[in-house]
A and B are shown apart, each in its own frame.
Chain A
Amino acid sequence: MAQLNSKIETGATGKLLRRTVVSALLEDRRGMLCIAGLGAPAWDITAAGDCPENLPLWGGMGGAAMMGLGLALAQPERRVLVITGDGEMLMGIGSLATIAVQRPKNLSIVVLDNEHYGETGMQETHTHHGVDLAAMARGAGIGDCRLVKTAEEVLALRQAIHAGAGPLFAQVKIDEQTLPLVLPPREASILQARMREAIMGKAAHLQ
């Protein structure tokens, strides 16, 4: 794989900096579709560069992974990456079982785990108290489940996402620092229509 321009960095805590992780995962993405859970993950993918292949969510908490499943089943030749937070994943945790049973090779779920609800005042989530999301995904039956803490592990994750031997689940421990908002468009009909057009061309609007 070619050298990345993105530099994967860690913060004062020694934990990975979320936007450097997301930039590395989305660089040279080769048509990969990305759905981001509401809150900071939506701002993160927007900071990496807003584009039609991005679907940043403004709501639907707990639904991001299942949206990834529906999209991955509809577009088996495309890579589909769901990037979400620990709170959002916990709310839809049963979807890991649903996804494991379907076994979509082209679907990857990456949880940016800062162990807090970032949008509501940094209250602790269950992962702060030891809940192991990667173990839960493994228990559901997802074959490739990873705990990611280092830049090297992020690069390996990036390779695995593009290899298409999913479904893949990664829990990425990140620095909890709150970053400046980078807001995507808020008119959600535009967000869906632009992704559909990126996949199917103008015919998408005549379906």
Chain B
Amino acid sequence: MQPDTSAEDWPDQIYGLLKDHGIRQVALVPDAGHSRLIKRCLADNDIKVVTLTTEEEGIGMLFGAWLGGEKGVLLMQSSGVGNCINMLSVAIAHRTPLPMIVTMRGDYGEFNPFQVPMGNATQTVLEAMGTLVKRADSPEDIAPTVNATLRMAFNTYRPTATLIGQRVIGAKTFGK
């Protein structure tokens, strides 16, 4: 993919990558950082967007999608990674692709104390469960990193994740 847009258009660049990779199922628990990408996916009739009650549902769903020959991706916030830990064993034991795109909270200038423990542990927890993790902390790094995450998942059959840093997304300030 050759992005011809500015670095701030990274959600549109991710959408373009999902199309390039033939993604047909997008599982998500919403995060503000993913809102523009979610809108693009919802407007696409070739992508089935499934909102989940908890992020671990997405791991089961994308395993089922792969069984049926469809590629999928899981979008979530860093807190949701904690809801996925045991379910990651499904993709590891079956050796199936599981790309995840995670927007970080509790990472860089966080306001909410509850976001910090999981935000601080997100990469460690994913790696402890056998996931290949790459970080993107500037807008121009996001598309190449997501591309690598998708390629490594579908070419090498394992869970992979891009963590999009809070430095890119901005910290929610609650008016303070």
Q: Which residues of A contact B (CB under 8 A)?
A: 33, 35, 55, 57-75, 78, 92, 94-95, 97-98, 101-102, 188-189, 191-192, 195-196, 199-200, 204, 207
The yes or no answer to B42 lying at the interface (CB within 8 A) is: no
- Mostly helix, strand, loop or mixed at chain A's interface? helix
- CB <8 Å contact, B64 and A98: no
A60 is contacted by which of B51, B58, B60, B67 (Cβ under 8 Å)? B60
A189 touches B94 (CB 8 A): yes
Interface CB pairs A-B, < 8 A, 11: A60-B63, A63-B56, A64-B60, A66-B61, A66-B64, A74-B65, A74-B68, A75-B69, A188-B95, A195-B67, A207-B154
Total contacting residues, chain B, CB less than 8 A: 33
B57 lies within 8 A of A63 (CB)? yes
**A57 closest partner in B (C-beta):** B90
Q: Are A66 and B69 in contact (CB under 8 A)?
A: no
B1 within 8 A of A: no
Which chain B residues numbered 26 to 72 have a C-beta less than 8 Å away from chain A? Answer: 48, 50-54, 56-70, 72
Give the CA-CA distance A97 to B60 in the complex, in Å: 15
In the complex, chain B residues 85-142 whose Cβ is within 8 Å of any chain A Cβ: 86-87, 89-90, 93-96
Extra A-B contacts (15), CB below 8 Å, given A59-B89, A67-B60, A73-B65: A58-B93, A59-B86, A60-B89, A65-B60, A69-B61, A70-B63, A70-B64, A74-B64, A94-B54, A94-B57, A98-B57, A189-B93, A192-B95, A196-B66, A204-B69
Distance of B45 from chain A, by nearest CB (Å):
14
One of A35, A97, A204 near B64 (C-beta < 8 A): A35
Contact with B94, one of A61, A94, A95, A192 (Cβ below 8 angstroms): A192
User: Which residues of B have CB within 8 Å of A199?
Assistant: 67-69
Would B62 and A97 count as touching, CB distance under 8 A? no
Contact status of A74 and B25, CB under 8 A, knowing A62-B56, A67-B60? yes
B163 to chain A, nearest CB (A): 23
Whether the Cβ atoms of B53 and A98 lie closer than 8 Å is yes
Q: Can you name the residue of chain A whose Cβ is closest to the Cβ of B70?
A: A74
Known: A60-B89, A188-B95, A192-B95. A72 touches B54 (CB 8 A): no
